[in-house]
C-alpha cells in the first residue's frame, strides 16, 4: 500500500505504451512489451509511471482523441494485459498514473456520433453547440493552438450547428456541467482505481473546471475539482490527481485549493524558466521563478519537467526572453510550433553537450517538487523534425543499435511511429544497450542522479529557500526537513565560480552527495564553494 503523500518523494517516468517496446512484431508497443521493460524502469530508479492514453482511438492526436473510455486499444493489448501490467508494476513498487482525458472525445466516440445525429438527441447537450459561432475576436473560448488559422468552432452539416473544440476539430469539447458526464467521470475513476491505477493526470484541467462551473450546484470553477478530489480520496486515500494547467502563476494556488483539489500540478513555468536560464547562462530567471511560484499546501506538490510529450510552451515568457530561447535552442522555423513552442527533445536542444545535458537534468531534480523523466531523455534521444506538429519528440524508444533500435521487428508503415535511424541521435549512436556497459554514459549518470534525489528526502518534503550566492551565475537552494539539510548549487555560466555560504544554523556535518567533479571536503571555516563552469554540487548535512 502506498503512503498518502507518496508522490512527494516520487520519481515519475512518463511514457507511451505505443512507442516503448513491441513484443509481438505488429509495429506498436504493447503492454506485454512494457511488462518486459519494467525492470529497466525500476533499475533506473523511477517509482512511478505516467502512462499516456491507451484506449481505442483514431490516433489523430496520439491517443488523446479517445473513442472508448473503458477499453484498451487492440494494437497494444487487452484489458487483461492492462491488469497484468498494473499488477507487475505494483510488485516492483511502481505506482501508475493514468490519464483522465474528459475535456473532449473523438468525433468517433459513440456519444458524439449519437449527439450529432439530431438536435433532439438525448446526448446532444453532452457537447457544446451554437447556431452561429461568435464573431472574430469576440469568442471567450481560447484557441489553444494559436499561431495557426483554426477556429474553435466547426459546423456539423448534419444538424447545421457549430460545436466547440478548443483543440482539434476531431476533438469536440464535452460539457462538464452535464450531470450524466460528471457521473461517467466518477465511474471512469472508480473503474481504473479498481484495476490498480494510483492516480490520474487530468487533461486540460482549467477548461474542465470552467465548464463545470455552469452547473447550478457550483459557485465557482473550482467547486467541481473539489468534488472530484473528494470522490477520489474517499475511494482510495492515497490516490493522487496531477493537473495539466498551464496558467499564470497567481492562478496556480486555485488548483491546489486548501489541499482539497490537486495533489500535483505540472510545472510548466519551471520548464520555461530553466530553459531561459540555460539560454542566458544565468541563475537570475530561476531565482525569479522561485519568487513567483506560490508555495503549495502541505499535501500539494509541483511536478517538474524539462519538457514532456507536447511542445515546449514558452507562452509565459515575455517577447524578448522567448526570442532568446528560440534563437538559442530552436533557431530554425521547423523547430518551432504554434508561434510560442519548441518541438525538440532536450539533448539536441543542448547540442548533445554532455556537460549541459547533465546540468539541465541536475537542475530539474533539484527544484522544489517531484521530477519527471520523459522516456528516452535518460539516454539523450533526439527528434525527427520531418514528422507532423508535436510528433517529432514521440519516437520509439531506442533499446539497441539493431533495426528499429530494438523497438520492433516490424517494417515500414506497420510501425506506429518511425524510429530515428540516422544522425548523431539515431539509434545506432544513442541506445540503452551501449550505455548500460559504459560507466561514463548518460544513462548511468542518470541512475546516480536519481539515487541522489531519493536520498535527499528534504527536496521533496522540506521547507526551502533561495541562497544568496552573490553570483548571478549560480543558483543556490537550501532545503530543511527536520534535522536533514540539503544544499544544492548550480553554475549556469561557462566560467567557473566560487560562492560563500554560511548556513543559518550550525551543522553537525556536511558532505558531498553528488557533483560534476571531485571538489574535496566541503566543510571550511569560510564555507567557500568552488563550482566549475556548468557545474553542480549536491551537499547534505544535519543540524547540530
Banded model confidence at residue 137, pLDDT cuts 50, 70, 90? low
Give residue 139's pLDDT.
61
Give residue-wise pLDDT tens across range 468-523. Answer: 999 999 999 999 998 999 999 999 999 999 998 888 778 888 899 999 999 987 65
Q: Which of 141, 57, 244, 131 is nearest to 150 (CA)?
A: 141
The alpha carbons of the chain give a radius of gyration, in whole angstroms, of 23
In 3-state terms, what secondary structure has residue 96? strand
Q: What digits encode the pLDDT tens for the residues 216-255?
A: 999 988 999 999 999 999 999 999 999 999 999 999 999 9
| Reported confidence tier of residue 143, pLDDT bands at 50, 70, 90 | low
Which are the contacts of 336, defined by CB distance < 8 A and separation ≥ 6?
326, 330, 342, 343
Q: How much of the chain is in helix, strand and coil states, percent to nearest 5? A: 30, 20, 50
Looking at residue 507, what is its pLDDT? Answer: 84
User: Is 99 a known active-site residue?
Assistant: no
User: Which pLDDT does position 458 carry in this prediction?
Assistant: 95
Q: What is the pLDDT of residue 141?
A: 64
Q: Give the C-alpha distances (Å, rounded to integers) separating 326 from 147, 246, 311, 345, 361.
A: 15, 19, 13, 14, 20
Summarised one tens digit per residue, pLDDT across range 56-69 is: 999 999 999 999 99
Residue 215 pLDDT: 95
Q: Which of 203, 272, 321, 378 is catalytic?
A: 203
Q: How far apart are CA 17 and CA 328, in angstroms?
A: 32
CB contact burial 357-372 (16+ within 10 A = b; e otherwise):
bbbbbbbbbbbbbbbb
Q: Which of 239, 289, 296, 295 is nearest to 268 (CA)?
A: 289
Q: Looking at residue 146, what is its pLDDT?
A: 58
- Listed residue (204, 212, 21, 199) closest to 103, CA to CA: 204
Q: Sheet of 161-164: strands edge to edge?
A: 129-130, 161-164, 153-156
Q: What tens digit of pLDDT does each residue of 147-158 get?
A: 555 789 999 999
| Residues 395-425: tens digit of each pLDDT | 999 999 999 999 999 999 999 999 999 999 9
217 catalytically annotated: no
Tell which wins on pLDDT, 150 or 42.
42
- Tell me the β-bridge partners of 474: 491
Average pLDDT across the chain, whole number? 94
In this predicted structure, the answer to whether residue 135 has a pLDDT above a threshold of 90 is no
Q: What are phi and psi of 445, to 5 degrees?
A: -65, -40
- Sign of the C-alpha dihedral computed for residues 92, 447, 7 and 262 taken in this order: negative
DSSP one-letter string for 487-499:
EEEEE-SSS-EEE
Q: Is 404 left (phi over 0), alpha (psi -120 to 50) or beta?
A: left
Q: What is the pLDDT of residues 286-322, one digit of tens each?
A: 999 999 999 999 999 999 999 999 999 999 999 999 9
What would the mean pLDDT of 426-432 be, rounded to a whole number? 98
Report how far Cα 466 is from the mean position of its chain's Cα atoms.
24
Q: What pLDDT does residue 544 have? A: 80
Q: Are 539 and 521 in contact (CB under 8 A)?
A: no
What is the structure's pLDDT at 321? 98
Mean pLDDT of the region 321-349: 97
- Residue 401: CB atoms within 10 A of its CB come to 15
Q: Which of 81, 244, 261, 383 is catalytic?
A: 244
Q: Would you state the cell numbers that stand for residue 277, as one nine-digit string?
A: 536560464
Q: pTM higher than 0.85, yes or no?
A: yes
Query: Is residue 91 scored above 80 in pLDDT?
Result: yes
pLDDT tens for each residue of 516-534: 999 987 655 567 899 999 9
Q: Would you state the pLDDT for residue 528?
A: 83
Residue whose grid cell is 540516422: 422
pLDDT given for residue 180 in this prediction? 97
Amino acid at each position: 500500500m502506498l503512503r498518502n503523500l507518496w508522490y512527494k518523494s516520487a520519481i515519475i517516468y512518463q511514457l507511451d505504451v505505443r512507442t516503448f517496446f513491441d513484443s509481438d512484431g505488429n509495429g506498436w508497443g504493447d503492454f506485454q512489451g512494457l511488462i518486459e521493460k519494467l525492470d529497466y524502469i525500476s533499475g533506473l530508479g523511477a517509482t512511478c509511471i505516467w502512462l499516456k492514453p491507451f484506449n481505442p482511438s483514431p490516433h489523430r492526436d496520439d491517443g488523446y482523441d479517445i473513442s472508448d473510455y473503458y477499453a484498451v486499444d487492440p494494437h497494444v493489448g487487452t484489458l487483461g494485459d492492462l491488469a497484468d501490467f498494473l499488477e507487475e508494476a505494483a510488485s516492483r513498487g511502481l505506482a501508475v498514473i493514468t490519464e483522465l482525458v474528459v475535456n473532449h472525445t473523438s468525433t468517433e466516440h459513440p456519444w458524439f456520433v449519437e449527439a450529432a445525429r439530431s438536435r433532439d438527441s438525448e446526448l446532444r447537450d453532452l457537447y457544446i453547440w451554437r447556431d452561429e459561432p461568435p464573431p472574430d475576436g469576440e469568442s471567450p473560448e481560447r484557441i489553444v493552438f494559436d499561431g495557426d488559422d483554426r477556429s474553435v468552432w466547426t459546423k456539423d452539416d448534419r444538424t447545421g450547428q457549430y460545436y466547440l473544440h478548443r483543440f482539434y476539430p476531431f476533438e469536440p469539447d464535452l460539457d462538464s456541467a452535464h450531470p450524466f458526464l460528471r457521473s461517467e467521470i466518477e465511474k471512469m475513476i472508480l473503474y481504473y482505481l479498481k484495476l490498480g491505477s494510483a492516480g490520474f493526470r487530468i487533461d486540460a484541467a482549467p477548461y474542465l473546471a470552467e465548464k463545470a462551473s455552469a452547473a447550478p450546484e457550483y459557485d465557482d470553477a473550482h467547486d467541481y475539482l473539489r468534488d472530484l478530489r473528494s470522490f477520489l480520496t474517499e475511494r482510495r486515500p492515497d490516490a493522487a490527481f496531477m493537473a495539466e494547467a498551464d496558467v499564470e502563476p497567481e492562478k496556480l494556488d486555485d488548483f491546489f485549493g486548501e489541499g482539497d483539489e490537486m495533489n500535483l500540478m505540472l510545472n510548466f513555468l519551471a520548464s520555461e524558466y530553466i530553459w531561459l536560464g540555460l539560454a542566458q547562462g544565468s541563475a537570475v530567471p530561476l531565482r525569479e521563478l522561485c519568487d513567483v511560484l506560490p508555495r503549495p499546501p502541505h499535501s500539494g506538490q509541483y511536478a517538474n519537467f524539462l519538457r514532456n510529450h507536447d511542445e515546449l510552451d514558452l507562452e509565459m515568457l515575455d517577447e524578448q526572453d522567448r526570442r532568446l530561447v528560440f534563437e538559442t535552442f530552436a533557431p530554425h522555423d521547423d523547430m518551432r510550433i504554434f508561434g510560442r513552442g519548441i518541438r525538440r527533445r532536450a539533448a539536441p536542444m543542448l547540442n548533445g553537450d554532455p556537460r549541459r545535458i547533465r546540468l539541465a537534468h541536475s537542475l530539474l531534480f533539484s527544484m522544489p517538487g517531484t521530477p519527471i523523466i520523459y522516456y528516452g531523455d535518460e539516454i539523450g534521444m533526439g527528434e525527427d523534425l520531418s514528422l507532423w506538429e508535436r510528433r517529432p519528440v514521440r519516437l520509439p524508444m531506442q533499446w539497441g543499435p539493431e533495426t528499429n533500435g530494438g523497438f520492433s521487428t516490424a517494417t515500414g508503415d506497420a510501425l506506429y511511429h518511425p524510429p530515428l535511424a540516422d544522425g548523431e541521435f539515431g539509434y545506432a549512436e544513442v541506445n540503452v544497450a551501449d550505455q548500460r556497459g559504459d560507466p561514463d554514459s548518460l544513462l548511468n549518470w542518470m541512475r546516480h542522479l536519481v539515487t541522489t534525489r531519493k536520498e535527499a528526502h528534504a527536496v521533496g518534503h522540506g521547507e526551502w529557500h533561495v541562497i544568496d550566492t552573490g553570483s548571478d551565475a549560480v543558483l543556490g537552494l537550501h532545503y530543511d526537513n527536520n534535522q536533514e539539510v540539503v544544499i544544492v548549487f548550480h553554475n549556469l555560466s561557462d566560467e567557473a565560480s566560487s560562492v560563500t555560504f554560511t548556513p543559518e544554523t550550525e551543522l553537525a556535518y556536511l558532505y558531498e552527495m553528488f557533483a560534476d567533479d571531485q571538489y574535496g571536503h566541503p566543510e571550511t571555516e569560510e564555507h567557500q564553494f568552488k563550482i566549475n563552469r556548468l557545474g553542480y554540487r549536491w551537499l547534505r548535512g544535519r543540524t547540530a
